[in-house]
C-alpha cells in the first residue's frame, strides 16, 4: 500500500472504532490493557537478569515488550495510544470530536481495567518470585525509576513513545499477513522501550504492579503523576505530531474522498 492508501485505511478503521457500542469498546480495551501488560510481564523477565549489560537488556526487553502491541494488532483489541490515529477520521469529518473523545475515554478506562486485572493475577500467582525474587526486584526498580522522573521529562518521553507506537500501527495497515504485523510492531516498539520512552498504558501495568511489591517506596501520587504526564505526551506525540503530520502530507488535499 502507498502512504495515501494507508492514510485512507486508517480513516476507515477510525470510523469503525467511533461506531463501536460502549460495552464492546470497553471489553476490547480491557483486552488491550491485558495484552500490553503481558508484554510488560515478558520484559520483566529480561530485566531480572543482572548478567545482561545495558544495551542488550534494553534491546531484548523492548523486543519482548513488542509482543503486546503485536497481539493487539492481530488478535483485535482497542488501545488508547494507537487510537490516537482516530484524529485522521475526525479531521475528515467522518465523526464528531465528541465521538472521538467519548471513544478515547471508554478505551482509556478499559485499558486501565485490563492492566489492573493482569497485575492482580500476577501478584496472586507470585510471578514476582521468579528468578529467586529478581523479577519482583526488577518490577520495583522499573516503577521506582519511572516515578522518579520529572513531569516534563515523562511528558516529552511520552511524545516520542507514541510517535513510534503510531508509526507501528500505521505500518501495520500496509501488512497483509501475521508476519507483516509482527515486523511492524517489533521494530518501532523495541526502539521506544530501549530508549526509555513512556507509554501510559504500559505504565498502568508497571506502576501498580511495582507499587504493590515496593512496600510503600513507590508512592501512589507519584505513580498517578507519571501516568498523567505520559498520557498528555502520548496524545501530543500520536494525535498531533504523528497523525497531524501525516494528515497534512497525505490526507488534507483529498477532502472529497
Q: Around Cβ 255, how many Cβ atoms within 10 Å?
A: 9
Q: Are 213 and 139 in contact (CB under 8 A)?
A: yes
Give the burial class of 239: count Cβ atoms within 10 A of its Cβ; 0-12 exposed, 13-18 middle, 19 or more buried: buried
- Neighbouring C-alpha atoms within 13 Å toward the C-beta of 166: 30
SS3 152: helix
In a domain, 174, yes or no: yes
% of the chain at pLDDT higher than 90: 91
Question: CA 231 to CA 162: how far, in whole Å?
Answer: 9
Q: How far is CA 144 from CA 113, 202, 203, in A?
A: 22, 15, 12
Closest CA to 191 of 162, 218, 211, 219: 162
CATH number at residue 107: 1.20.1080.10
In a domain, 213, yes or no: yes
In a domain, 209, yes or no: yes
Question: CA 164 to CA 237: how far, in whole Å?
Answer: 9
In terms of residue numbers, what domain contains 124? 3-252
Number of domains in the chain: 1
User: What's this model's pTM, rounded to 2 decimal places?
Assistant: 0.95
In a domain, 97, yes or no: yes
Mean pLDDT of 215-241: 97
Query: pLDDT-derived band of residue 2, with 50, 70 and 90 as boundaries?
Result: confident
SS3 201: helix
Q: How far is CA 145 from CA 46, 55, 60, 157, 207, in A?
A: 17, 17, 19, 13, 10
In a domain, 257, yes or no: no
pLDDT in tens, 115-150: 999 999 999 999 999 999 999 999 999 999 999 999
Amino acid at each position: 500500500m502507498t502512504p495515501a492508501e494507508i492514510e485512507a485505511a486508517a480513516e476507515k478503521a477510525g470510523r469503525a472504532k467511533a461506531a463501536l457500542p460502549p460495552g464492546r469498546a470497553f471489553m476490547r480495551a480491557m483486552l488491550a490493557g491485558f495484552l500490553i501488560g503481558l508484554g510488560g510481564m515478558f520484559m520483566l523477565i529480561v530485566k531480572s537478569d543482572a548478567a545482561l549489560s545495558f544495551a542488550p537488556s534494553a534491546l531484548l526487553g523492548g523486543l519482548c515488550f513488542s509482543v503486546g502491541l503485536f497481539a493487539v494488532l492481530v488478535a483485535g483489541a482497542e488501545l488508547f495510544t494507537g487510537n490516537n490515529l482516530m484524529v485522521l477520521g475526525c479531521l475528515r469529518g467522518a465523526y464528531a470530536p465528541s465521538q472521538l473523545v467519548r471513544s478515547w475515554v471508554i478505551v482509556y478506562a478499559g485499558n486501565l481495567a485490563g492492566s489492573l486485572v493482569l497485575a492482580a493475577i500476577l501478584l496472586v500467582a507470585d510471578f514476582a518470585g521468579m528468578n529467586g525474587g529478581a523479577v519482583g526486584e526488577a518490577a520495583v526498580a522499573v516503577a521506582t525509576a519511572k516515578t522518579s522522573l520529572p513531569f516534563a521529562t515523562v511528558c516529552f518521553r511520552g511524545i516520542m513513545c507514541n510517535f513510534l507506537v503510531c508509526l507501528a500501527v500505521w505500518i501495520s495497515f500496509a501488512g497483509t499477513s501475521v508476519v507483516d504485523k509482527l515486523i511492524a510492531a517489533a521494530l518501532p516498539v523495541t526502539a521506544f522501550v530501549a530508549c526509555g520512552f513512556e507509554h501510559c498504558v504500559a505504565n498502568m501495568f508497571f506502576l501498580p504492579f511495582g507499587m504493590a511489591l515496593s512496600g510503600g517506596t513507590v508512592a501512589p501520587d507519584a505513580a498517578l503523576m507519571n501516568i498523567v504526564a505520559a498520557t498528555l505526551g502520548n496524545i501530543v506525540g500520536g494525535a498531533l505530531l504523528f497523525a497531524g503530520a501525516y494528515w497534512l502530507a497525505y490526507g488534507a488535499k483529498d477532502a472529497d474522498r
